[in-house]
A and B are shown apart, each in its own frame.
Chain A
Amino acid sequence: MPTFVYMTRCDGCGHCVDICPSDIMHIDPTYRRALNIEPNMCWECYSCVKACPQNAIDCRGYADFAPLGHSVRVRREEEKGTISWRIKFRDGRVKDFVSPITTQPWGEKIPRLAEMARPSEEDLNSQLLWSEPDALNIDTGLPVISKNKFKQGVYY
């Protein structure tokens, strides 16, 4: 379902242009509002819809196989940590869903590794990654397998 932009809601802020993974949301030079310049390269990922502060972007199912009359609307609320969906069928039936998007205040629990304890030379030469072996939550250390168990060919 390629995206489209409602003329009366878009204020041309460009959030959708910044976020679109496919580089297909652009600002129309005449109307100074966003538009989808290449609907056939739209993955319907909803990144632009979620990013739009004006709720100006919607999707209309791909014309090749999606009949008119449906809608799938979304509201992503970072401060509440939720995403809410409303699915409307062509025949008018409606389904609503709400899911969490994070369990933490946004970004706070993500470490800045430059400020964490430095690794030793020995660590660099080991097979361990940052936070290992502790973060594996096992007390037997990083698993390893003996090279002399290798067999070449079809036997297994």
Chain B
Amino acid sequence: MGFKTVYEDCDILVVGGGMGGCGAAFEARHWARDMKIVVAEKANIDRSGAVAQGLYAINCYMGMQWDENQPEDHVRYARNDLMGIVREDLAYDMARHVDSAVHKFEEWGLPLMRDPETGHYQREGKWQIMIHGESYKPIVAEAARKSVDKIYNRIMVTHLLMDENQPNRVGGAIGFNVRTGGLHVFRAKAVIVGAGGASHIFKPRSVGEGMGRTWYAPWSSASAYALPIMVGAKMTQMENRIVLCRFKDGYGPVGAYFLHLKTYTQNAYGDEYESKWYQHTKDMVGEYIDHHPTPTCLRNHAFLQEVAAGRGPIHMVTKEAFQDPHKETVGWENFLGMTVGQAVVWASQNIDPKYINPELTTSEPYVMGSHATCSGAWASGPEDISPDEYYWGYNRMMTVEGLFGAGDALGGTAHAFSSGSFTEGRLAAKAAVKFIRDHANDKINVSDKQIEDRRKEIYKPLENYQVGRNEIVGGTVSPSYILPLHGLQRLEKIMDEYAGGIGVNYMTNEPLLKFGLEKLKILQEDLEHIGAEDLHQLQRAWELKHRAIASECVTQHTLFRKETRWPGYYYRGDHLKLDDENWHVLTLSRRDPESGEWEMEKAPVYHIVD
């Protein structure tokens, strides 16, 4: 294929320009006036990542200036919501810095609502502040743009590159331009992965034209996980997928409805149901059900039980709140600011929540590290507050030297959300600068052979298609290749049926997971025969490869943890109870890049606050 190769030698490469990547790109310049900072983004940083369409709230803000919350409170909240297990050092560290980011967003022009009485930011709940955030991403992107040497939009990064002078040290990244097809080789002294988590690894509820209406963006293709996994970085808590309780079909957010509008749920017959499942849940998880606020997974669990008992659908009672015109406006603007699709669903179905209590549903599972769950790479914490097992020299550095992460890429840091992901990017960038200065004599060696091997691999789907296409008259059915959509749907079906998706009410067990792993292995073999008709399909092919490898990791972790830690997110039918005796631990995995074999281990959980 006659695509040209573009080389870029830089000091810091940021892969993915979402909230985390933009935070990293912005902050890096402050600490490194003389370094070359480059961003490689799959789309266009003005509207990329999970915040592309905007947000109506910033879900992580301490409000230390008004003594609303302290970092310790955030740790307690995130830990409680995830049934006792997070990286408390990382959570504390993010929380103690996050307010400074939010204050800057306001200074830059992001409209933060204020409480007319106190003058403080308008709280939606204890943690969330309300914003008019349609332009949140363009504002943050502008900050990144002003800091960096160069932004490469439309680069699908397929692999990290490794330094060949030293073992286990990153040397850059490689990918292709989805417009020109050109091969882009970035040689870098440090890489910060700010790529997205995983939608579309489990079969979504909508499988036709609406399959793009997943809760998390369809372009979140698990690159945050696949890139580190492929170079042998350790991952953590990858089993801790999240299932969202949302408005039906559009997956419109419920946070403002519950917290600010004070709407509430009831079953099809108008009855409150959560309290009915108290004892049942207590039998599974013990005293965790008594914690306040009730962990999100346990509220999901009551929802699922009530529906399984034949009393669905569950409704959100909006009719009372929406009689107040101000609340009605907030309710609609909440969607228009971050999930326009829900407004469309209601408009099309004549659902006006002033007169009809809308239906809720539980979503397919997602794997991510930035929202209310914490899957991702195992990374070092900060020197001053991390226990020895969690600290190896540079804040937010993964177990591969010179490789850092932020946002979805980092494991253990639940409830970071947009502001926290941006903050993690800043932390990673500062540490990356320090790393480069401490290793000033390192000469990065990425051989031509390494690049050539990757080049062949990257373009192979185009070749597969070209060759195979000649065998058949036309259409999508070939005996020699599968198309990206075929592979995606096979992946989603495997994960759904074997790893606890919607089709099995989130239930799995050891035999199912082992079958699933076998099928994933065969899928991986078939992905060597994936066919891409054009550059757009080549992007889809690589997104699928990233999703497939992340799915394998999720399945390995789910198999390893022999308990049901988060009922409502998934169930191990063979271990239906929470087991603090054996599993009050973080799970770690590492895939050997040579053999493809997985090794699992447990890491201790440290509680740094009472």
Contact = CB atoms under 8 A, between A and B. Distances in A.
Interface of A: 1-2, 18-24, 26, 37-47, 59, 61-72, 74, 76, 83, 85, 87-91, 93, 95, 97, 99-104, 106-107, 109-114, 116, 118-119, 124-125, 127, 129-133, 135-138, 142-145, 147, 149-156
Contact of B209 (A62, A83, A106, A149): A62
B255 interface: no
Given A21-B52, A102-B135, A137-B65, A85 B348 contact: no
Interface in B81-115: 84, 92-93, 96-97, 99-100, 103-104, 106-111
Interface string B375-401: 000000011110100000000000000
Contacts of A23: 42-43, 154, 178, 219, 536, 539
A85 B336 contact: yes
Contact of A103 (B27, B111, B333, B349): B111
Contact of A154 (B65, B92, B580): B580
A33 B336 CA distance: 27
B511 interface: no
A156 B610 contact: yes
B350 A89 contact: yes
13 contacts: A24-B536, A40-B211, A46-B340, A59-B340, A74-B336, A101-B135, A137-B65, A143-B70, A143-B96, A152-B387, A152-B604, A153-B607, A154-B605
Contact-size category for B: 35 or more
A44 B92 contact: no
Nearest to A140: B64
A101 B211 CA distance: 29
Given A21-B52, A45-B52, A72 B347 contact: yes
B218 A76 contact: no
A-side interface mostly: loop
B345 interface: yes
A99 B135 CA distance: 11
A79 B340 CA distance: 23
A19 B209 contact: no
A153 B582 CA distance: 10
A133 B97 CA distance: 9
Interface of B: 26-27, 29-31, 33, 42-44, 46-49, 52-53, 64-65, 70-72, 79, 84, 92-93, 96-97, 99-100, 103-104, 106-111, 132, 134-135, 139, 142-143, 146-147, 154, 178, 206-214, 217-219, 249, 329, 332-333, 336-337, 340-341, 343-350, 352, 382-385, 387, 423, 426-427, 430, 433-434, 437, 536, 539, 580, 584, 604-610
A21 B48 contact: yes
Name the residue in A42, A130, A153 with the highest tally of chain B Cβ atoms < 10 Å from its Cβ: A130
A20 B212 CA distance: 14
B347 A88 contact: yes
B30 A116 contact: yes
A156 to B, nearest CB: 4
A144 B584 CA distance: 25
A150 to B, nearest CB: 5
Contact of A101 (B96, B134, B154): B134
A62 B49 CA distance: 22
A70 B344 contact: yes
B290 to A, nearest CB: 14
A43 B104 contact: no
A90 B346 CA distance: 9
Closest 7 CB pairs of A and B: A62-B210, A104-B109, A45-B53, A137-B65, A135-B100, A66-B348, A70-B347
Given A62-B208, A116-B30, A90 B347 contact: yes
Nearest to A106: B109
B497 to A, nearest CB: 21
B348 A132 contact: no
Contacts of B212: 2, 22, 39-44, 62
Contacts of B26: 113
Contact of A46 (B53, B100, B217, B249): B53
A129 B97 contact: yes
B84 A130 contact: no
Nearest to A107: B142
A97 B47 contact: no
A95 B332 contact: yes
B108 A109 contact: yes
Given A64-B210, A156-B84, A70 B348 contact: yes
Contacts of A127: 93, 382-384
A2 B93 CA distance: 40
Contact of A147 (B135, B213, B385, B609): B385
A90 B341 contact: no
B343 A72 contact: yes
A64 B209 contact: yes
A67 B593 CA distance: 49
Contacts of B345: 61, 65-66
B533 to A, nearest CB: 11
Contacts of B213: 43-44, 62
Contacts of B146: 110-113
Contacts of A154: 84, 580, 584, 605
Contacts of B134: 76, 83, 99, 101
Contacts of B48: 21
Contacts of A62: 206, 208-210, 212-213, 249, 341
